[in-house]
Amino acid sequence: MYKKILSVTLVFALLNVCALTVAAKTPAEKLAERAAKVKRAVLKLGAGEKSFVKLKLSDGTKLEGRLSAVGDESFTVTNVKTGAATVVAYPQVVKAQGNNLSTGAKIAISVGILVAVLLILYVVADKPFED
């Protein structure tokens, strides 16, 4: 009985070790995955006057500005205050935050405001006016 328990335990331990080595990614794979994620986010924001981003780069530099150009290998961030343009490669970015509301989000916000205004007008109009 002891040998069966020991052999089953060893089998599970070996399977666990094999699964961990297969699931582990090299630093290059992690970097490529992060760069692809940043690229998707930047492409979603798009370039233009209303596409603002905040970036933290791998060397510790922080950038803030608008996306003025988006390419396959890099994108350009233009500082709003100084007008200085910085070309950033996707693998350099550690963290990216952007704000550019989609059309659906703008419509949802507008409808919400309209419903709130109509509700307030309904409540105010329902009360009798006293002199």
Instruction: Give per-residue pLDDT as tens, 81-118.
Output: 888 889 999 888 888 887 766 677 788 899 999 999 99
Domain 27-100 in this protein, CATH class: mainly beta
Q: What is the pLDDT of residue 50?
A: 78
Q: What is the pLDDT of residue 102?
A: 66
Report the Cα 66 to chain-centroid distance in Å.
16
Report the Cα 34 to chain-centroid distance in Å.
11
Strand partners, 62: 56
| 131 pLDDT higher than 80 | no
Q: Domain ranges for the chain, please list them.
A: 27-100, 101-131
Q: How far apart are CA 54 and CA 96, in angstroms?
A: 6
Decide if 88 contacts 76 (C-beta within 8 A): yes
Decide if 54 contacts 107 (C-beta within 8 A): no
What tens digit of pLDDT does each residue of 74-84 get?
899 998 888 88
